[in-house]
Amino acid sequence: MDAAKVAQKAWARTPLWKRAELLHKAAAILKEHKAPIAECLVKEIAKPAKDAVSEVVRSGDLVSYTAEEGVRILGEGKLLVSDSFPGNERNKYCLSSKVPLGVVLAIPPFNYPVNLAVSKIGPALIAGNALVLKPPTQGAVAALHMVHCFHLAGFPKGLISCVTGKGSEIGDFLTMHPGVNCISFTGGDTGIAISKKAGMVPLQMELGGKDACIVLEDADLDLVTANIVKGGFSYSGQRCTAVKVVLIMESIADAVVEKVKAKLAKLKVGSPEDDSDITPVVTESSANFIEALVMDAKEKGATFCQEYRREGNLIWPLLLDHVRPDMRIAWEEPFGPVLPVIRINSVEEGIHHCNASNFGLQGCVFTKDINKAIMISDAMETGTVQINSAPARGPDHFPFQGLKDSGIGSQGITNSINMMTKIINDEYSMTKYQANLLWLGLERLVRCESVNRQDGDGDADADPRFVVVARLLGQHYPSNAPPATADRTEVIDD
Ligand code: G3H
C-alpha cells in the first residue's frame, strides 16, 4: 500500500498520452502471452481451452480501448458560467476537471480472473491511479502472469501490485486499509459485507444475478433454444450473466423444453483441456451447493428433463421443468449447469417473478413484437434487458450495472474510468469592470496577433493561446461587455 501511494503521486503527473502508450504496450504483451495465460485458466478454473484464449484476447482489446477512451475523456474538462443560476451575474467561471482517486483495490472473481481484473486495472491506470489487485484464489496464477505483462510493458515500480491469498484471511485487511481510495469488486454477496466495512471510499460492485429469460408465444423458438443453451450453460453456468430462470408461456413450453433437451444432449461433458462445453465447477463446495438446490427441487416435485448426474465437481447439464416459486432454485443462483423453467400464463406473471428477485443484473425477452419487447424490458427491474438474445456483459465498452443486490455503480470502460476519478474545480470570480477590461484587452491582443502573424496566404493566423482564451470569453463574456465583432468571429473560427 505504501509503495502504491508513492508510485501513484508520480503516475498522476505522467502525461496522459504516456499512460496510454504503456497500456497499449501491455495489451500487446498480454496478447502475445495468450497461450500460457490461457493454460493457467484451463488448469486453475477449468475454463474450456478456446474460451480461455478468448478471455485473454478480449482482455488485451479491453486494455487498448481503455487507453484510447481515457485519452479522449480525461483530456476534457468543463467550463461553467455563473449566470445560469438565478441571482448570479456572468462574472464567475468554474473550470472542473477529473483527477485520480489514489489507490484502487481491485478484486475480480474466479470466473474471469484476467478479464474482470483488467476491466478494473485499465481504467484505474489510465485515470492516474495506482492499483492493488487481490486475485481470486483459483485464478491467481493466471492473474499473476497477466500482471507480469503490465510490468514487462514498463509501468513504474510499485504502481501495480498483486496480493494473493484467501479472501477470508486477507480480505478485511485490504478492504479496510486506510490507504485504499476506491474498491472495485466483482463476486458474490461478500460484496455486501465489504460495502458495510469499507468506509468513505467509492465502491463499484457487481454481485451476481438471477437473470430471467421471458419467452412470449410469438418468439422464434429456435432462437430461444439456442440462447437458453448458450446463455444458461456456457462455462457450465458459472457466469453472473447466465440465464438463471426461464419464464415461458405455457402454450409453447413443451416445444421449447423438447428443443432445449435435444441440444443439451449434444453438449460435450468432460475436461477443459478437451474443450468440453461442460467442465467441472470450480470447487467441491460449489458442487455441493448446486446439488442441494437440485435435491430441494426434487423433493418439491420439479420435473427432471435429464437424470441428475455428478462425478466429483463435474455436473451434467440439467433442465428442471415445472419449477414453482416455493423451490429454492426459483430464486437462488446455482452458478452451475442447472436451469429451472417456470411456466407462466401471462407476461405480467413473468415480469412479477423477475422483479420479486433480490437480484437485478440482466434479463432477456424473446418476442417478434418490438413494441411489446420494449414495454416488457422497461418493466423489468434489471440493469440491462437483452431483446432476443441471452444476457451478457459487453462489448466491454457498453455500460454494465446491476440493480438491487446485483451491485453498486456502473461498469463498462467509460463508466469505470469516470468512477475512478473525482471532480475538482478551479473557480474564478471577476467584477464586471475587471471582466470588461480583460475582454477588451484580449480582443486587442487577438487582433494584434492576427496582424503580426500574417503568413502571406491572406489568412489571419492568431496565436492559438489567444484564440483559446478569446473563444472562452467570446462565448461567456460578461453581459455588459461589447458584442462580438465580425472580425473577431473570423479569428476565433480559425
Ligand atoms: O460473471 C460475470 C461476468 O461479468 C459475466 O461476463 O457476460 O462476459 O460472461 P460475461
Convert the pLDDT of each residue in 243-267 to its tens digit. 999 999 999 999 999 999 999 999 9
- Which range (173-177, 337-341, 484-488) has the least confidence? 484-488
Q: Which of 76, 34, 51 is nearest to 414 (CA)?
A: 76
Query: Nearest CA to 21 among 156, 126, 147?
Result: 126
Q: Per-residue pLDDT averaged across 385-407, rounded?
A: 97
pLDDT of residue 465: 47
Q: What is the pLDDT of residue 452?
A: 45
Q: Please name the residue whose Cα sits nearest to atom 2 of ligand 1.
A: 240
Tens of pLDDT along 60-94? 999 999 999 999 999 998 999 999 999 998 889 89
Q: What pLDDT, on a 0 to 100 scale, did the predictor assign at position 435?
A: 65
CA 182 to centroid of ligand 1, rounded, Å: 22
Helix or strand run (H / E) with residue 304: strand 303-304
Report the pLDDT value the prediction gives residue 88, as an integer from 0 to 100. 93
Average pLDDT over residues 290-316: 98
Q: Is residue 458 scored above 90 in pLDDT?
A: no
For residue 428, the model assigns a pLDDT of 86
Ligand 1, atom 8, residue with closest C-alpha: 393
Centroid of ligand 1 to alpha carbon of 399 (angstroms): 13
Mean pLDDT value across residues 308-328: 98
Question: 95 near 423, Cβ under 8 Å?
Answer: no
Q: Which amino acid type is present at position 259?
A: K
Query: Containing H/E element for 339?
Result: strand 338-344
CA of 9 to the centre of ligand 1 (A): 33
* pLDDT of the residue at 32: 98
Ligand 1 pocket, mutate which of 57, 230, 241 (most atoms under 8 A from CB):
241
Position with higher pLDDT, 462 vs 38: 38
Rama region for 104: left / alpha / beta (φ>0; ψ in -120 to 50; rest): beta
pLDDT at 54 over 90: yes
Is pLDDT above 80 for 462? no
Q: Give the gyration radius of the chain's Cα atoms.
A: 28
**Preceding omega of 395 cis (within 30 degrees of 0):** yes
**Which residues are CB-neighbours of 199 under 8 A, at least 6 positions away?**
176
Q: Is the model's pLDDT at 108 over the cut of 90?
A: yes
Query: How do residues 411-453 score in pLDDT, each as one tens digit?
Result: 999 999 999 999 999 998 877 666 666 666 655 554 544 444 4
**Residue 109 near residue 238 (C-beta atoms within 8 A):** no
Rounded to the nearest angstrom, the distance between the alpha carbon of 316 and the centre of ligand 1 is 21
pLDDT of res. 450: 46
Asked whether the beta carbons of 183 and 203 are under 8 A apart, the reply is yes
Please give the distance, rounded to the nearest whole angstrom, from the Cα atom of residue 115 to the centre of ligand 1.
9
Mean pLDDT of 265-284: 98
CA-nearest residue, atom 6 of ligand 1: 393
What is the number of the ligand 1 atom nearest to the C-alpha of 235? 9
pLDDT at 474 over 60: no
Q: Enumerate the β-bridge partners of residue 103.
A: 130
427 among known catalytic residues: no
- pLDDT for 437 equals 61
pTM (2 d.p.): 0.88
Burial class (CB in 10 A: 0-12, 13-18, 19+), 205: buried
Any idea which of 119-133, 244-258, 452-466 has the lowest mean pLDDT?
Answer: 452-466
Q: What's the gap in Å between 239 CA and the centre of ligand 1?
A: 5
Residues enclosing ligand 1, CB less than 6 A? 111-112, 239-241, 392-394
Position 191 pLDDT exceeds 70: yes
| Marked catalytic residue, from 44, 206, 333, 443 | 206
